[in-house]
Structure 1
Amino acid sequence: MHLFNLATAIVLGSNALAASAQIVVAHFMAQNAYSYSQSDWQNDMTTAKNIGIDGFVLNTAAADYEVDRIDDAFTVAENLGFKLFLSFDMSYSWAASDIVSITASHASSSAMLTWNGKVLLSTYSGESYGDSFWSGIKSSLANEGIQVSFAPAFTTYRDPSLANSLISTFSSVDGFFNWWSWPDDVGTLLTTDTDLAYQSAIKDNREGPYIMGVSPWQFKDIDGTGDNWVELSDTLWMYRWQQAIDDVKPDIVEIITWNDYAESHYIGDINPNVDLGTAAPNYVNGFVHAPWRIVAQYYISWYKTGSAPAVTDDTIVFWYRSHPKDVTCSGGWPVRNSQYPADAVFALALLSSPATVSLDIGSTHAECDNSPAGASMCSVAFPVEDAQIPYIQIIRNGVQEKYMYGSIYVTQSCDWYNFNPFVGVVQ
């Protein structure tokens, strides 16, 4: 699959990031790299770099096989001029000495992403460990001559009113990563209230980066004990980028994620060698997300340059689920928040000039007449008929210029509760 041509102003990465550059990274689940060779890392990093991603954030769950895989990642990244930094997943148990050791072993790498000359270090969660735990880690690293800019995702800090509490509670915190990239169990769009509150608290009190999470989706259904939910994500991949560009303007955008297959927000290719467990394959296999990278490339360029890139090759990226939300499936577990997503096909058009975006599936039809140049959204509701497939067209002056069918049928029955979308492309 080729990507559409952007304006030449897009920056696809370099050996050194300019101090004034806007940085884009992607969250990478290192625990999914068990079977990785250096060629797997090279493929992922090259693919990411080619759309403007500057680096991966290595979500690290344990000091086990992941340590060797991270060693390989840094070796490959150094050769590619790609950046990496570590994010310790504190939903698992960690000893401070292991965090210090793993960080120190890569601190001098040319691939290590730094902030103001300091090694950038992040987390998923970890606030329960307390400020002294993180201050101690920073002190231990400082004793080895390693200065750290600590920008964690302390996930209980979501309410905007708690931003000042974060600062007063954690002297160890230099920056902040807002993990929360989806609505919070509601049927309304995500706002930037959390982003702006924590960004302001960091800017006014600390010298680290504000990192904003941007994600295309959120769905998981791997057991019936709470790991089964969906968040309203129908148009998230467009409007969250627009929030980053128009409203927040963060120091770093962190795409969530490159390869977290179980939570359905992967934009990387599905690596067939990755062990997905027993449940996730039921809603991941066959549900390609690669065309979402076309959208990412467009918005990364816009974020970095400050201007919407000129589109020279008309493209529509479309996504849809494989069954209506009210269907009872024979496998999996009923999904929390399933009432919120719309039963529809969503199409994000990237057009060189105004055109009509035509969407059909079964007996339902929708047209977005005079869709503008640049990015716009259109949608069409699921039909009542069983086993239907979308048909997407670009029409200009009454003439069909491009078209494409989906690759997965929308059915009125299902083997697994699946709110993970298939993503296709007209180009």
Structure 2
Amino acid sequence: MKLGFLSFFSTFLFFVFLSFSAAKHNTPLSRRSSKRQLHSRAEPESQAFDATSRSVYSDHSADSRLEKRDGTKYVFMHHVFHSFKGCLELSSDLYTDTYEYTHDSWLNDFDQIRAKDIDAVALNVGRDTWQSARVQDAYSAAAMVGMSVFISFDYTSFDCNIETTVNWVNAYKGLPGQFKINGRPMISSYSGDCLGPDGWQTIRDQTGGFLMPFIYGNDDQQLKKGSSYGFFDSWYCWGCAWPQGNYNKTTDDDHYYMNILESRYATTISPWMFTHYDSKNFYLRGDDWLLITRWEQLISMRDQLTFVEMVTWNDYGESDYFGTGPSSANSQPSGTTWTDGFPHNGFFDLSAYYITYFKTGVYPRITKDTVYFWLRPHPASINAKNDPLPKPEGWDWTSDTLWAAAFCSSTCNVTLRVGSYSQDFDNLPYGVNKISLPLKALGNVTVKMSKNGQEVINHIPSHFQYQEYTDHYNYNAYVGSATTLS
């Protein structure tokens, strides 16, 4: 009994040490910096964009296959622990995401994430003392449901200290929920150039970890094998998930980094990006079915990729969440006016098709007819009535369009309507059909599908309308879906 008590007490003291060491340094409290220019490879300055409604058909046979590649493919989900609104005083209303999380909260998240065949969850941790308890809960819950997790150190907040980082990794790497590659615990980061090559090498040596950080601000050539950061096992491009200007997302940045890192390159995918605080106020272009287009790009590069990270599960302050949205006002930063009533789980649901496709190289069979759709709540050019902040940078990079994807199990007809304006899309073939509708009228959204003269979907969201006025600017997306019952 004495030995058992001493073991428990020693473990307790160690986690107290982790909490203290994460808070003892004077790291500035700030929200994560703008993700605009976090990779150096420039994309095209402009591309022609046709804002008229159009349909792009993709008739994929269930037996279609991509070239197989030796080795397993992994898909991760990035789970944010906190964000700040640039304030220096610690209080619970500044936190987002996991401040009020319980063990059951983690179980709920992991059940949803695991259901989509995601391999592991990256736990984005910062400097605050309460976060070590959340990490312990996350590891415990992960083990209960068969989920894997790994720590992603957010060095814009977390103590940039080698010893602290090593202690955190070694404290958790032996737990059942730890994600490993060939027996080595995965270690990731957002930022981390502050550690330098010697610091990262020490972390690798003292933990036996598999390094997959995202560091930026250095010469990219330092990531080459034989160069100062060439010992990284992998490196992922955070900013490659979005176009960095008024043009569609391309793979130019991916191929730029592939030429440097070769098979060690990893990358990201995200459905949206909009934030509207006094400390950062911008929108990144999400038009032309950004999420689906990005999945198609990743699949086209799957013979060069091993790791893909979905960004994020719950960063409500930047609108790039795959979940349903914040459960309460306390689960998002104060001053966030653009997420309540804006679910994104439709983005997550449609991703299941592409996750399977990316990991296996085989198109999954579509057996249930579903239409996913998304749009912003107001025209891009209007002026908000009561917003103390100006329009976000990039507001004119988006068209007023309803975007949709019809997953058809056989030939189908779809009608999209907003207010009094509608368009029919007839004889859509089996597969994923990308369709869109210019927003020429105001009012309710209606989505219909018919087959063989029978209506099988007739859906009107009950809590959303496209309107020509707003108190506060909102360039977030409302995401809905409608599915046949049969």
Q: Same fold (TM over 0.5)?
A: yes
**Which residue of 339, 343, 348 corresponds with 1:284?**
339
1:27 Cα shift? 0.3
Is 1:412–2:476 an aligned residue pair? Answer: no
1:185 Cα shift? 3.5
Is 1:232–2:232 an aligned residue pair? Answer: no
SS across alignment from 1:57: strand
Unaligned runs of 5+ in 1: 1-6, 10-18
Retained in 1: the 8 A contact 2:267–2:308? yes
Name the amino acid aligned to 2:277.
I
Matches within 5 A, 1:191-340: 191-203=250-262, 209-223=264-278, 225=279, 227-234=280-287, 235-249=289-303, 250-273=305-328, 274-280=330-336, 282-329=337-384, 330-331=386-387, 332-340=389-397
Deviations 1:5-30 (A, max 9, x none): xx999xxxxxxxxx933211100012
Is 1:189–2:237 an aligned residue pair? Answer: no
Q: TM-score, normalised by structure 2?
A: 0.77
Q: Distance in 1 between matches of 2:169 and 2:128?
A: 11
Deviations 1:305-333 (A, max 9, x none): 21111111100111111101001112243
Distance 1:210 1:355, change over 3 A: same
Q: Select between 212-221 and 190-199 the one with higher mean Cα deviation.
A: 190-199
Matches within 5 A, 1:72-91: 72-91=137-156
Partner of 1:118: 184
Deviations 1:123-148 (A, max 9, x none): 11122432122122223x2xxxx311
Q: Distance in 2 between matches of 1:8 and 1:395?
A: 22
SS across alignment from 2:282: strand
Unaligned runs of 5+ in 2: 1-60, 64-69, 83-96
Partner of 1:26: 77
Retained in 1: the 8 A contact 2:190–2:215? yes
CA RMSD, Structure 1 to Structure 2 (Å): 2.2
Q: Distance in 2 between matches of 1:182 and 1:252?
A: 13
Q: Distance in 1 between matches of 2:480 and 2:141?
A: 30
Deviations 1:59-107 (A, max 9, x none): 1111521111101111111121111111111112422222111111111
Q: Distance in 1 between matches of 2:246 and 2:173?
A: 43
Is 1:176–2:224 an aligned residue pair? Answer: no
Deviations 1:14-63 (A, max 9, x none): xxxxx933211100012221111110000000011111112210111115
Partner of 1:368: 425
Name the amino acid aligned to 2:438.
A
Deviations 1:353-403 (A, max 9, x none): 122221111232223333221212111111244xx1111111234442212
**Which residue of 196, 214, 223 corresponds with 1:130?**
196
Retained in 2: the 8 A contact 1:182–1:217? no
Partner of 2:213: 152
Partner of 1:164: 221
1:184 Cα shift? 4.2
SS across alignment from 1:20: coil
Q: Distance in 2 between matches of 1:268 and 1:298?
A: 16
Residue identity (%): 26
Retained in 2: the 8 A contact 1:163–1:197? no
Q: Distance in 1 between matches of 2:229 and 2:393?
A: 33
1:163 Cα shift? 4.5
**Which residue of 152, 165, 168 corresponds with 1:99?**
165
Partner of 2:434: 377
Q: Distance in 2 between matches of 1:203 and 1:324?
A: 43
Name the amino acid aligned to 1:86.
I
Retained in 1: the 8 A contact 2:162–2:195? no
